[in-house]
Amino acid sequence: MNTDIQELSAKVQEAGAFCAPLLRELSKAVVGQKNLTRGLLAGLLADGHLLLEGLPGLAKTTAVRALADAVGLEFSRIQFTPDLLPADLVGTTIYNAAKSTFEVRKGPLFSQLVLADEINRAPSKVQSALLEAMQERQITIGDETFRLDEPFLVLATQNPIEQEGTYPLPEAQVDRFMLKLKVGYPTPDEERRILDAASGAGFDPVRKVVGREAILAARAVVRELYVDDRIKEYVVRLVGATRRPADCGLAELAPLVAVGASPRASIDLARAAKANAFVDGRAYVTPEDVKAVGLEVLRHSLVLSYEAEAEEMDSDEIVQKLFAGVEVP
């Protein structure tokens, strides 16, 4: 086993050599926000879609554009608006009068890195157009189904406070995001650095540091990372606790959670923990890796009850209490 871990560690060091340079490039465009930039990298490595939530002006769109520049993948940006139609995303069939046939016109979703900007500004029928692409990595137009190129990643942004002209994401849509990253305000020092750059020569351009083949190779190594049975049991207990809080001695949380996390959350938690270990240069997953990504994986996997809203409890508080209540191996 030690020999296997040593060999795997060497593969991690080789395949993950781009991680530190990539984070440095992202920091050129995004000052501070280390949780955001690291989350973007984790999603890229773990093959998981990302939902970025934060107030306007906190560099959500800028961060995604910086990632696109740094990885050199095919990129498309879709501005979600109330008048958007599903065909505006996936494409449609058009009639070719010269050939007397219908031809497929592919939409912007046929990219490797897709920015769904302000995703909650489009109605549910448009949001639902993403479901097949996000889960099956394919798009059906008419009677034809097209496989999407790998890697394929949807990065969606939304404003948590604006209500007018917005449409809440369906639970089936939210569940397809591996990580939900909350973007907060910068510190005073970080904001001063932003001000200096914006009022001076501007931000340094983000250069490409890695390509498609290196990303796919890194993903293959991430899947090989060693996860001990006790870590797997820990993941299952954590996700199970969202459905049955009393099992971990937190019966007081049971009335606050209407619907717990699905088995997809268990899969996403393990995959994201592997990605976190990979970024740290380790060939094995520890409980700290699970804790490091647990809040981002589980915060959007819960449906809270009216009682939780009445007590002004959010999902972050509940997930943190569950982590405190579940025994660490």
pLDDT at residue number 165: 66
Question: Of the candidates 181, 197, 216, which is a domain's last residue?
Answer: 216
> Is the predicted pLDDT of residue 1 greater than 60, yes or no?
no
CA distance readout (Å), 245 to 302, 304, 317: 12, 13, 13
User: How far is 235 from 196, CA to CA, in rounded Å?
Assistant: 44
Same domain, 153 and 241: no
The percent of residues above 70 in pLDDT, for the chain, comes to 98
Same domain, 57 and 113: yes
State the average pLDDT for the chain.
88
CB 67 within 8 A of CB 40: yes
Same domain, 312 and 196: no
Same domain, 176 and 104: yes
pLDDT at residue number 218: 94
> Is the predicted pLDDT of residue 144 greater than 90, yes or no?
no
pLDDT at residue number 162: 66
Average pLDDT on 13-28 reads 90
In a domain, 75, yes or no: yes
* Count helices and strands in the chain by DSSP H and E runs: 15, 11
> Is the predicted pLDDT of residue 137 greater than 70, yes or no?
yes
The string over 60-87, giving b where at least 16 C-beta atoms fall within 10 Å of a residue's C-beta and e elsewhere, is bbbbbbbbbbbbbbebbbbebeeebebe
Which range, of 31-45, 64-78, 96-110, 175-189, averages the lowest pLDDT? 96-110
Same domain, 319 and 266: yes
> Is the predicted pLDDT of residue 8 greater than 60, yes or no?
yes
| Residue indicated by tokens 């995001």 | 177
Same domain, 196 and 261: no
Average pLDDT on 215-231 reads 93
How is residue 47 written in tokens?
Answer: 């093959």
pLDDT at residue number 256: 86
pLDDT at residue number 234: 94
Same domain, 232 and 270: yes
Same domain, 108 and 127: yes
pLDDT at residue number 102: 81
**Per residue in 292-316, pLDDT tens?**
999 999 999 888 888 888 888 888 8
In a domain, 12, yes or no: no
The string over 8-43, giving b where at least 16 C-beta atoms fall within 10 Å of a residue's C-beta and e elsewhere, is bbebbeebbebbeebbebbbbbbbbbeebbbbbbbb
Question: Of the candidates 216, 240, 266, which is a domain's last residue?
Answer: 216
Same domain, 260 and 280: yes
CB 25 within 8 A of CB 13: no
pLDDT at residue number 154: 94
Using pLDDT thresholds of 50, 70 and 90, give the confidence band for residue 56.
confident
Count of structural domains within the chain: 2
In a domain, 4, yes or no: no
CA distance readout (Å), 159 to 58, 101, 169, 182, 183: 10, 43, 12, 10, 10
In a domain, 13, yes or no: no
State the pTM of this model.
0.90
pLDDT at residue number 290: 94
Same domain, 198 and 273: no
In a domain, 71, yes or no: yes
In a domain, 6, yes or no: no
User: How far is 278 from 289, CA to CA, in rounded Å?
Assistant: 10
Using pLDDT thresholds of 50, 70 and 90, give the confidence band for residue 198.
confident
**Per residue in 68-78, pLDDT tens?**
999 988 999 99
- Domain containing 234: what range? 225-325
The percent of residues above 90 in pLDDT, for the chain, comes to 43
In a domain, 11, yes or no: no
Q: By C-alpha distance, which of 224, 236, 239, 240 is closest to 274?
A: 224
Exposed / middle / buried, residue 195 (Cβ in 10 Å: 0-12, 13-18, 19+): exposed
β-bridge partners, 117: 79
pLDDT at residue number 40: 93
pLDDT at residue number 47: 92
Q: What is the dihedral of CA 45, 48, 53, 58, to 10 degrees?
A: 30
β-bridge partners, 284: 226
**Per residue in 232-281, pLDDT tens?**
999 999 999 999 888 888 888 888 888 888 899 999 999 999 999 999 99
> Is the predicted pLDDT of residue 3 greater than 60, yes or no?
no
Average pLDDT on 46-54 reads 93
In a domain, 10, yes or no: no
Same domain, 109 and 257: no
Question: Of the candidates 216, 246, 267, which is a domain's last residue?
Answer: 216
pLDDT at residue number 310: 83
Average pLDDT on 163-192 reads 85
CATH number of the domain encompassing residue 151: 3.40.50.300
